[in-house]
Copies of this chain bind each other. A is one copy, B any other.
Amino acid sequence: MKTVSGRWRLGSIGGTLLWSALLAVGAYAQTDPLPSWNQGPAKQAILDFVRDTTDPSSPRFVSSAERIATFDQDGTLWVEHPMYSQVKYCLDRVPAVVAAKPELKNVEPFKTVLSGDREATTSLSMKDLETILVATLTGMTTDQFQSEVEKWLATAKDPRWNRPYTELTYQPMQELLKYLRSHGYKTYIVTGGGQDFVRVYAERIYGIPPEQVVGTMGGTKYGYDENGKPILTKDAKLLLNDNNAGKPEGIQLMIGRRPNAAFGNSTGDQQMLEYTKAGDGARLAMLVLHDDATREYAYGPALGLPDTKVGTFTQALFNQAEKDGWLVISMKNDWNHIFAFEK
């Protein structure tokens, strides 16, 4: 921030200092770690938090070994509307599942998905959806699953932007991940999505290695293939539903310490943010509000935005954020870019 005010001061002195001013702008552009964030309370809170927790002379200093930042994924790091990408993956896998088990062809909910009737598919019950998730996410080895997801990611495209899902990550959050890591923070994804699914691409698209992806966890079963080679087969046993109260539980299981900073965008992140903020010292909790229908989507229903089942941000959550000192990030006002491909 010093550089910014310095720049305006230089500019105000007059034309003779034009070159100095331009150089200062250049230096600022190079050194601003969060160029896609507009100046404002959200950006300032991040800069203050990092300064306070990494300056050894600060009373709020955190040793580098203890610096943990956790990020929800869907709606926080990438687009979640109109449908979670993983759900789209599972629906897209149904033909392959039915090809391998033709007896499912005329059985619901597979029949509806195969019919191609989009409206009927999006109206499937939670129970039907679970049947599809189990059929498409379990029963194969971990290696087979990884290669199936990779193949899908390479070809599937979001219909609105006509781009691979992995390009629909938010540029400001990518900058934030890098900025935190460059200051010694370990960045974790803590998602309600499937842990193994997100791990397939998290390292490539977010720089987050598999061991730092915490998600909804299914079990695996150790065994041997026909050549006696060890394999792990994904089974349908649910170990942890990493959403709501499951998020702090998943953090305890996978990380074993309380985050210093946590970022989310919906009611599923409430407990993670509470748990983070309840720690001593400097704690940062932030919520992304989708209030930009032009550049992305607008949904809530906080602040009168349209209601949704995908990434609900209720007025009660908004009120809790105000009361507990969580910052709300307005996509519309706080982000000057949303996607890298806009530039």
CB distance from A232 to the nearest CB of B (A): 5
Stretch at the interface among A31-39, A252-260, A311-319: A252-260
A203–B253 contact, CB under 8 A? no
Interface membership of A17, Cβ < 8 A? no
Which residues between 192 and 246 of chain A lie within 8 Å of chain B, taking CB atoms? 195-196, 199, 203, 209-211, 213, 217, 219-222, 229-230, 232, 239-240, 245-246
Q: Which 3 pairs of residues, A with B, have the shortest CB-CB distance? A: A210-B256, A222-B245, A211-B255
Chain B nearest CB, measured from A280 CB (Å): 11
Tell me whether A275 is interfacial, beta carbon within 8 Å: yes
A65→B253 contact, CB < 8 A = no
In the complex, which residues of chain B have a beta carbon less than 8 angstroms from the beta carbon of A254?
A: 211, 254
Known: A239-B253, A253-B239. A65 touches B211 (CB 8 A): no
With known contacts A211-B256, A240-B239, A253-B220, A278–B230 Cβ distance under 8 A = yes
Of B239, B246, B255, B278, the residue contacting A210 (CB under 8 A) is B255
- Of chain B, the residue at the smallest CB distance from A271 is B222
Please measure, in the bound complex, the distance between the C-alpha atom of A217 and the C-alpha atom of B239, giving whole angstroms.
10
Given A211-B254, A229-B278, output 16 extra A-B contacts at Cβ < 8 Å.
A65-B209, A186-B211, A195-B256, A196-B256, A211-B255, A213-B256, A217-B253, A220-B253, A221-B249, A222-B245, A222-B275, A230-B248, A232-B248, A232-B249, A239-B240, A239-B253
Name the one of B199, B229, B239, B275 contacting A230, with C-beta atoms under 8 angstroms.
B275
Report A267 CB to chain B, min CB distance, Å: 14
Is A112 part of the binding interface, using a Cβ–Cβ cutoff of 8 Å?
no
CB distance from A33 to the nearest CB of B (A): 22
Q: B residues within 8 A CB of A210? A: 255-257
Q: What does the 1/0 interface line of A166-207 toward B look like (CB < 8 Å)? A: 000000000000000000001000000001100100010000
Q: Can you give 26 A-B contacts (C-beta < 8 A)?
A: A65-B203, A65-B209, A195-B256, A196-B256, A199-B256, A210-B256, A210-B257, A211-B254, A211-B256, A217-B253, A219-B253, A220-B249, A220-B253, A222-B245, A222-B246, A222-B249, A222-B271, A222-B275, A230-B248, A230-B271, A230-B274, A230-B275, A232-B252, A232-B275, A239-B239, A239-B253
The residues of B that contact A86 with a CB separation of less than 8 Å are none
Inter-chain CA distance A240–B256, complex, in Å, is 16
**Bound CA span A271–B275, Å:** 36
A142 within 8 A of B: yes
Instruction: Determine the residue in chain B with the shortest Cβ distance to A274.
Output: B230
Chain B residues with Cβ below 8 Å from A255 are 210-211
